[in-house]
Chains A and B, each alone.
Chain A
Amino acid sequence: MVDKPHLDEEALAELRDVMEDEFDVLIETYLSDSADRINTLHRALVAEDNEMFTKSIHSFKGSSINIGAPLLGELCLRAECAGRNGHLDEAGQVLDRIESEFRTVSDLFQRLLNA
Chain B
Amino acid sequence: MDEPLTEQAPLTILIADDSDTDRLILGKLISRQGHQVVGAVDGQDAIEKFEQHQPHMVLLDVMMPRLDGMAAAREIKRLAGERLVPIIFLTSISDAKTLASCLESGGDDFMSKPYNRVILEAKVKAFNRMRLMHRTLSEQRDLISERNRQLLSEQQVAKRVFDNVAHSGCLDSPNLRYHASPLSLFNGDVLFACPRPAGGMHILIGDFTGHGLPAAIGAMPVAEIFYGMTSKGFGCGDVLREINQKLKRILPTGMFCCAVFIQADFHLNQLRVWNGGLPDAYLQRHSGERLVLPSSHLPLGVLSTERFAADVDVIRTEPGDALFVATDGLIEAEAPNGQMFGEERLVTALDDHRGSEAIFQSVLNAARVFAGDRELQDDFTVFCLEMVDEEALDQLPDRLLPSALTGPSDWQCDYELNDTTLGKFNPLPLLLHICMEVPGLRRRAGEVYTLLSELYTNGLEHGILKLPSAWKNSPEGFGQYYAERERRMAAIEGHHLRFSLSHRPSADGGCLTIRCRDSGEGFDYQHLMAKRPDDHQYAGRGIMLLRQLSTSLRFLGKGNEVEVVYDWQYG
How does the 8 Å CB contact mask read for B43-63 relative to A, with 1 for contact and 0 for none? Answer: 000000000000000000101
In the complex, the answer to whether A18 meets B20 with C-beta atoms within 8 Å is no
A59 touches B18 (CB 8 A): yes
Contact of A19 among B25, B63, B90, B115 (CB under 8 A): B25
> Quick check: A67 and B21 within 8 Å, CB to CB?
yes
**Which B residues are in CB contact (< 8 Å) with A67?**
21, 25
A29, B29: Cβ atoms closer than 8 Å: no
- Cα–Cα distance between A58 and B61 once the two chains are bound (Å): 11
Report the Cα distance A20→B18, complex, angstroms. 23
Interface residue tally of chain B, by bracket?
10 to 19
Q: Among the listed B22, B28, B32, B63, which residue makes an inter-chain contact with A63, where contact means beta carbons less than 8 Å apart?
A: B22
The reply to whether A29 and B92 form a contact with Cβ atoms under 8 Å apart is no
Q: Which residues of A contact B32 (CB under 8 A)?
A: 18
**B114 within 8 Å of A (CB atoms):** yes
Chain B 101-121 near chain A by CB (<8 Å), digits 1 or 0: 000000000000111010000
A113 within 8 A of B: no
Q: Chain B residues with Cβ under 8 A from A5's Cβ?
A: none
State A33–B466 Cα separation when bound (angstroms).
Answer: 121
**Is the beta-carbon distance between B19 and A26 smaller than 8 angstroms?**
no
Whether B19 and A59, one on each chain, are in contact in the complex, defined by CB atoms closer than 8 angstroms, is yes
Contact A19 B18 (CB under 8 A): no
Q: Name B19's closest neighbour in chain A (CB-CB).
A: A63
**What is the minimal beta-carbon distance from B313 to any residue of chain A, in angstroms?**
91
**Given A11-B114, A18-B117: A66 in contact with B29 (beta carbons within 8 A):** no
Q: Is A35 an interface residue (CB 8 A)?
A: no
- Which A residues lie within 8 Å of B19 (CB)? 33, 59, 62-63, 66
* Bound-state Cα–Cα, A22 to B19, Å: 16
Contact indicator A66/B20 (Cβ below 8 Å): no
Query: Judging by beta carbons under 8 Å apart, are B24 and A65 in contact?
Result: no
Residues of B within 8 A of A61 (CB): 92
Q: Which residues of B contact A33 (CB under 8 A)?
A: 19-21
* A23 to B114 CA separation, bound complex (whole angstroms): 16
Complex Cα–Cα for A14 and B61 (A): 22
| A25 in contact (CB, < 8 A) | yes
B residues within 8 A CB of A62? 19, 22, 61, 90, 92, 113
Q: List CB contacts (< 8 Å) of B3-30 with chain A.
A: 18-22, 24-25, 28-29
CA of A15 to CA of B21 in the docked complex: distance in angstroms?
A: 12
Q: A59-B63, A65-B113, A66-B113 are in contact. Are A15 and B92 (CB under 8 A)?
A: no
B21 touches A63 (CB 8 A): yes
Q: How far is the CB of A34 from chain B (nearest CB, A)?
A: 8
A66 touches B18 (CB 8 A): no
B406-420 to A contact mask, C-beta < 8 Å, 1/0: 000000000000000
Q: How far is the CA of A67 from the CA of B28 in the complex (A)?
A: 13
Known contacts A58-B63, A62-B113, A18 near B21 by CB under 8 Å:
no
CB distance from A35 to the nearest CB of B (A): 12
User: When the two chains form the complex, which single residue of A20, A59, A66 contacts B25, counting CB atoms closer than 8 Å?
Assistant: A66
- Chain B minimum-CB-distance residue to A64: B21
The residue in chain B whose Cβ has the minimal distance to the Cβ of A33 is B20
By a CB distance below 8 angstroms, the chain A residues around B24 are 19, 22, 25-26, 29
CB distance from A71 to the nearest CB of B (A): 14
Quick check: A18 and B28 within 8 Å, CB to CB? yes
Q: Does B65 contact A (CB under 8 A)?
A: yes
A22 to chain B: closest CB distance in Å? Answer: 6
Indicate if the CB atoms of A18 and B29 lie closer than 8 Å: yes
Q: Which of A53-110 contact B (CB under 8 A)?
A: 55, 58-59, 61-63, 65-68
A26 to B113, CA, bound (A): 16
Known contacts A18-B28, A25-B24, A26-B24, A66 near B63 by CB under 8 Å: no
Q: Which of B18, B20, B25, B113 is close to A15, meaning CB atoms less than 8 Å apart?
A: B25
Q: Mark A13-44, 1 if CB is under 8 A from B, else 0.
A: 01100111010011001100100000000000
- The answer to whether B28 and A66 touch across the interface, beta carbons within 8 angstroms, is no
Docked complex Cα distance between A30 and B114 (Å) = 14
Q: Which residue of chain B lies nearest to A54 when distances are taken between CB atoms in the complex?
A: B63
Offer 19 A-B interface pairs, CB within 8 angstroms, sorted by A.
A14-B117, A18-B117, A19-B25, A19-B28, A26-B25, A29-B20, A30-B21, A33-B19, A55-B65, A61-B92, A62-B90, A62-B92, A62-B113, A63-B21, A63-B22, A65-B113, A66-B114, A66-B115, A68-B114
- Residues of B with Cβ closer than 8 Å to A? 18-22, 24-25, 28-29, 32, 61, 63, 65, 90, 92, 113-115, 117
Given contacts A14-B117, A20-B28, A65-B92, 11 further A-B contacts (CB under 8 A): A18-B28, A18-B117, A19-B24, A19-B25, A29-B21, A29-B24, A30-B21, A58-B92, A59-B18, A59-B19, A68-B114
